Structure 1
Amino acid sequence: MAMKIAMVSPYDFAWPGGVNSHVVQLSAELRSRGHDIFVIAPHSPSKSPAVVDQHDRQFIPMGRSVPLSAGGSTARVTFDWWLYPKVRALMGREGFDIVHLHEPLAPLLPLMVLQHSRSVNVGTFHAYSDRRHLYRMCRRAVARWQKRLHGRIAVSPAARAFVSPHFPGYSYQVIPNGIDFERFASAEPLRDLKDGKINILFVGRKDERKGLRYLLQAFSTLRRTRDNTRLIIVGPGEPDRECATLLSVINAEYPDSVSVTGAVSDEDLPRYYASADVFCSPATGGESFGVVLVEAMAAGVPVVASDIDGYRDVVFHEGNGLLVGPRDPTAIVNAVARVLDNPDLSVRLTSAGRDAAARFRWEQVASRVEDYYQQCIEEAERSGAAR
């Protein structure tokens, strides 16, 4: 049955990020199945749209954003209270079958939508943090909006464990993030990067919690004995002061050994993975899932990652990747060296990684989301809780 679905993100769609990427890709897969999808999110007009065409009639911009720092990362959300009547009119006019809110308790847009929605409301909880004070501080304030959800999805066991203690009595369906498996599995390497050097790849924002400084420290050690090794850093943002200092020192001692590309296009990203000999994600915490790990495995790249919640739901140590202690450059050095020096290990991790990544195809993930929508609709109709 075709449904009219609103996808709501609290995060500015003019800025790249994991939640917005999830929304775009899930929306595309559901559209391919005949559903009518509308994306509702803040959008800063001063930025060129990073993930969606702002003139698409099925993208509904709602307010401008301001940066909000928390957990070693920066989110851009809207606090425009004047949106209240606009959201109320939209919810009254469109008659959505499903309103799917991503981070449904985040300020401010999802809360406005929940206030006025008369549809079946499904929330996806993406976040995870080692610091649980945020939900503790706002639990009473947002509890009434939590009650307006008819269904709750967590993208991983870690995300479920983060939210569920603060709102007991609710069940959460674990449905993971997805990837376009074939796009990564079939990618060709970039010609400029297949020049005989050994490529270590990092993909992600340069936020503190992504742990780039520890990879730079590890690479500095590796480079002393491996003069054909190159570090490739892909992702938006500028390095913090410590990372910038480390980069200056490395480039002075080993010129052209580190390539910092900034953000790359969706078309080029799989090719960077395909150009890598090992992928490293040294995040320090706050990761609910680890899409970059799945992308790397789909591309056939052995993975070295931090042994943290969220990542452990994707990578199994010595099975489809190697896990190392967070904030430990020496452990990164040893794990990367093991992969580079042991072809049999590299092949085994690559094969197991590809098999694991295949489970996260968007086709499979979207089917589970569709089934859950239908379950929520049927339960709401039986209880008379919607419409």
Structure 2
Amino acid sequence: MKIALVAPYDFAYPGGVANHVAALANQLTALGHEVRIIAPASGPVTLFGDRFIRIGTPRPLPMSGSVARVTLSVSLANTIKATLAKERFDIIHLHEPFMIMLCSAMLRFSNSTNIGTFHAAEAKPGYNFAWPISRLMLNRRARKLHGHIAVSPAAQNYHSRFVKAEYTIIPNGIDLEHFNPAVKPMEQYCDGKINIVFVGRLEKRKGVKYLLDAFKTVHKHFPATRLLIVGPGTRLRPKFEKVVRRAHLEDDVSFTGGVSFADLPRYYQTADICCAPATGQESFGIVLLEAMALGKPIVASNIPGYAGVLTHEGEGLLVKPKNARDLASGISRLVEDKALREKLGRQGLVTVQNYTWDKVARRVESYYRQVLNKCGKPEAGGS
């Protein structure tokens, strides 16, 4: 098959959808298909060579408590039409298919079999169901989608409110060669303290505010604990650092800033406990899989996107979202109970095997064939 994977977000900037598309492209290529990635990019994308087709220059757009880097150009039509005429794709697989401008425009002009993967689970009020387009345009675009994938039940439940269709749930995947327990921890934090590690952007919806409040309580009862906050973000960081200074916790709370993808597994390996206190708007929670892949116990908010991946007292503990007291209680329980930490970590290593990228890609490949058959289109080329 000749397949286009279309991502609406800046492909030169790290993010969940871009990482998903990149991994899926590599796996589908390994399965014998001819794959192109189409996305806007703010800089060079050299990893994929001529398999990457840049369309559009992204701009930051505040959306759903985060910042989406999407192309806002309305002059993409000629480039899109020329690309589609040249490549003649069998499958066009759009990730967030109604997101402006690229995905929505690709769907408009495509005469291929069109499949959408829906990643989001919630939207901030004021944004039309995560897609800032009119209801009329949504209805027009929705009629051109032949297949619908959701990454989780949470994503399906959310999107099915606006696009009535039969959804197939195919989760995100994880690279277990990259995230594996054989990596070395960050040596500067291996001093006998119990390390609690948060990984994520410093955005309000990620719940760092509640984690800092919870850590004040944890550290009071267990002074030999440290909190590592791993991830990019500049707007809220001064506020969080001020909270740390006021609590006199500068020696035991570290903000690493953004770290390289190569080093990320080492930070997970450094953790005794991983913490994911998001307040909502998480459809899946790839950070949970990354922690499981390193055999780490997790304390996470009991929100639908996380509860679909992690079971309470299975791979970790689920606690009330936006509740520092409950979060502190869950963390303290694991600090006290090393045997429980080890038990949860072992189960995580088992569970994460269900999410390997080779398994996920084969499910996507099978779904492509199912949709092509439903549309009465024979598979062309590839395996």
**TM-score, reference length from structure 2:** 0.93
Q: Which moved more, 1:100-109 or 1:336-345?
A: 336-345
The answer to whether the 8 A contact 1:184-1:295 is kept is yes
User: CA 1:157–1:55 in structure 2 vs 1: closer, same or farther (change >3 Å)?
Assistant: closer
Provide the alpha-carbon RMSD of the alignment.
2.0
Matches within 5 A, 1:3-42: 3-42=1-40
What amino acid is aligned across from residue 92 of structure 2 in structure 1? V
The answer to whether the 8 A contact 1:299-1:354 is kept is yes
What amino acid is aligned across from residue 251 of structure 2 in structure 1? D
| 2:49 counterpart SS class | coil
Query: What is the aligned partner in structure 1 of residue 79 from structure 2?
Result: 86
Matches within 5 A, 1:1-387: 3-45=1-43, 52-53=45-46, 56-129=49-122, 134-135=128-129, 138-168=134-164, 170-186=165-181, 187-240=183-236, 242-250=239-247, 253-381=248-376
Q: Distance in 1 between matches of 2:90 and 2:224?
A: 56
Q: Deviations over 1:38-90 (max 9, x none)?
A: 11111113xxx5xx427821111111122222221111111111111111110
The answer to whether the 8 A contact 1:10-1:77 is kept is yes
Q: Which moved more, 1:192-201 or 1:105-114?
A: 192-201
Q: Which moved more, 1:207-216 or 1:240-249?
A: 240-249
The answer to whether the 8 A contact 1:130-1:285 is kept is no
What amino acid is aligned across from residue 128 of structure 2 in structure 1? L
| 2:211 counterpart SS class | helix
The answer to whether the 8 A contact 2:297-2:345 is kept is yes
The answer to whether the 8 A contact 1:26-1:366 is kept is yes
Q: Distance in 1 between matches of 2:112 and 2:25?
A: 18
Q: Which moved more, 1:346-355 or 1:135-144?
A: 135-144
The answer to whether the 8 A contact 1:9-1:19 is kept is yes
How many pairs does the alignment contain?
374
Q: Deviations over 1:109-161 (max 9, x none)?
A: 01111112121111000001165761397333211111111111000000000
State the shift of 1:382 in Å.
5.6
Percent of aligned positions that are identical: 45
Q: Distance in 2 between matches of 1:350 and 1:58?
A: 38
Q: Deviations over 1:323-382 (max 9, x none)?
A: 111111111111111111112211221122111111111011011001001111112226
The answer to whether the 8 A contact 1:139-1:166 is kept is no
| 1:354 counterpart SS class | helix
* Structure 1 residue runs without a partner (length 5+): none
The answer to whether the 8 A contact 1:92-1:117 is kept is no
The answer to whether the 8 A contact 2:65-2:124 is kept is no
What amino acid is aligned across from residue 40 of structure 2 in structure 1? P
The answer to whether the 8 A contact 2:244-2:250 is kept is no
Q: Distance in 1 between matches of 2:375 and 2:346?
A: 43
Q: Deviations over 1:19-43 (max 9, x none)?
A: 1111111111112222222111111
State the shift of 1:316 in Å.
1.1
* Structure 2 residue runs without a partner (length 5+): 379-383
Q: Distance in 1 between matches of 2:309 and 2:215?
A: 24
What amino acid is aligned across from residue 68 of structure 2 in structure 1? A
